[in-house]
Structure 1
Amino acid sequence: MKQLEVQIMGQSYLLGCPEGGEQRLLEAVERVDTAMCKIRDAGKVKARDRIAVLAALNLAFDIADRSVATPVQPATNGAAKNGAFADDGRLAGLIDRLDHALGDDGRLL
């Protein structure tokens, strides 16, 4: 496994990467960095962890939008009662995990 040092929102990270996956990892880092900087630069959210959560959600929704070819099914977990839908429940599972991680800070949706 190869290691790459990358910068996300001005902070250095040393990431593991499988051989031959360097370009894909660098592209992913660029997408995450761009998403996080856009949220930070909007000026409404200051905490790095909240910026990361919002960027993750934005990227997850982008991925879900790209998979429109597959019919979207109602989520089968807690997100369904909040009106959220996800392909195979993956997005709903992500939202539930993020809600759990945020704990007392409140629910995302």
Structure 2
Amino acid sequence: MKQIEVQIMGQSYLLGCPEGGEAQLREAVERVDVAMCKIRDANKVKARDRIAVLAALNLAFDLGQQPAAAPSPAAPAEPVATAPNGTTPDDARAAQLIQRLDQALAGDGLLL
């Protein structure tokens, strides 16, 4: 796995990057950096870990608000799978992203 160095809110991180995924990872880093700087610049939150959690939640919420790709007319719409506790795959993905961001801020520096 390739590693790339990026900056998020002025701090350097060395991230694991799958082959061929550098552009997509850099776009994700840019979204996270913009989201975190926006929260920091609003002077509402000072602690870096809280800024990261709020940014992750905002990004996950935005992701959940995006309309799903329209199914083709020939294919019936598939129901969204939910776990017994009522969570969806998007909920699980958001939780994973928050966990990865938390780990990166704790010092391992790897989001992937």
- TM-score category of the 2 structures, normalised to the smaller one: 0.5 to 0.7
Give the RMSD, CA atoms, in angstroms: 2.9
- Identical-pair percentage: 70
Local SS of the residue matching 1:3: strand
Total equivalences in the alignment: 89
Q: Measure how far apart 1:72 and its partner are.
A: 7.8
How high is the TM-score relative to the length of structure 1? Answer: 0.67
Measure how far apart 1:22 and its partner are.
Answer: 0.4
Deviations 1:21-67 (A, max 9, x none): 00000000000000000000000100000000000000001110014
1:20 partner letter = G
Contact 2:64-2:90 at 8 Å conserved across structures:
no
- The residue that corresponds to 2:34 in the other structure is 34
Judging by fraction of residues, say which structure has more helix: 1
Point out where structure 1 has 5 or more consecutive residues left out of the alignment.
Answer: 81-85, 102-109
Structure 2 gaps, min length 5: 70-76, 103-112
Residue in 2 aligned with 1:53?
53
2:21 aligned with 1:24: no
The correspondence of residues 1-109 of structure 1 with structure 2, limited to 5 A, is 1-67=1-67, 77=85, 88=88, 90-91=90-91, 94=95
Structure 1 residues 73 and 42: alpha-carbon distance in aligned structure 2, compared to 1, 3 A threshold: farther
When normalised by structure 2's length, the TM-score is: 0.65
